[in-house]
Chains A and B, each alone.
Chain A
Amino acid sequence: MRFTEDEAKKIAHCIGLGHAYQKHAANVSESSELLTHSSFESLILETLLNPAKIRKLENGRSVFWNSDEDFLVIVNPVDPDMGTAYWPEGGFNGYTILR
């Protein structure tokens, strides 16, 4: 389930440029400044390469937890965007409850 750096970069790029940016990143930045695509992609990459927790999920998906940012990345190989990434409302519970 661990990705090589090249694989992680490709996945982070897909998710970072996909729907997740508009839906989750554009309005979440605590500094009220717009989180750029590039910084969102970097956060996803950091989470994929150095997760605090990783779990496999049903249907070939996997989830990576970033405890420093209370941020998770779900990798879904069959999704055109390769998955999604967001700050769950419930923090770590949003990670543990995923199946």
Chain B
Amino acid sequence: MDTQSFVNSAQTLPHMPGLVGAPLRIVLPGTQALLLHQALAALVHSIHGVRFEEQTGVSRETLEALLGELQVWVDACQYDADGVIIVRDAFGNPVGKFERDFEPILIRALRNALEIAMLDLGQDEFFTITGFSLTEGKQLLDVLNTALLDPLHLGGQTDSVSH
């Protein structure tokens, strides 16, 4: 193990390893961007008793700022004659894209917020309040987790380990 380089990294990054680092690019199709917006909105505006720092890793104000970024995207989307946001085409495929660089700690906060919304709203309410299924929520969790592990460049590696 190259302890020297670890020590150097730790000195330049004063927080816990992996909590901070270079911004990572998140690219979400319109449907997943809206799901993230709705889950975050539920956490900030609907669910009672959230302990933001403890449960998401960031303050309520930071989550509100993230929600604000998503809100700008949501407001810029197209809406039909009934005022319903359009995030799918006639075949149900996603329309639009949300693309942004976030520090890992913020992606982790978004991931945590989504997870809390899924667990709190549960089978009874997740679809009713967000408009998306828990399965779609899990797919988005996977996307965010994959983005967090992007610095490891796992994409091209095989799963097998030879002994």
Contacts and interface: CB of A to CB of B under 8 A. Distances in A.
Contact of A99 (B38, B44, B46, B67): B38
B123 to A, nearest CB: 9
Contact of B71 (A56, A61, A88, A97): A97
A99 B128 contact: no
B84 A56 contact: yes
A46 interface: no
Given A57-B84, A89-B46, 8 more contacts: A57-B131, A61-B128, A74-B129, A83-B128, A84-B124, A84-B128, A89-B48, A97-B45
Contacts of B85: 58, 99
Contacts, number: 64
A61 B128 CA distance: 7
Interface in A52-99: 55-59, 61, 74, 76, 78-79, 81, 83-84, 86, 88-90, 93-94, 97-99
B46 A76 contact: no
A2 interface: no
A59 B129 CA distance: 11
B74 interface: yes
Nearest to A99: B85
B46 A94 contact: yes
Contact of B131 (A59, A86, A89, A94): A59
B131 A90 contact: no
B124 A19 contact: yes
Contacts of B131: 57-59, 61, 99
A88 B32 CA distance: 23
Contacts of A78: 127
Contact of A90 (B46, B124, B125, B127): B46
A23 interface: yes
B117 interface: no
Closest 4 CB pairs of A and B: A90-B45, A94-B45, A19-B124, A58-B131
Nearest to A96: B45
Interface in B64-120: 67, 71, 74, 82-85, 87
Contacts of B45: 88-90, 93-94, 97
Contacts of A79: 127-128
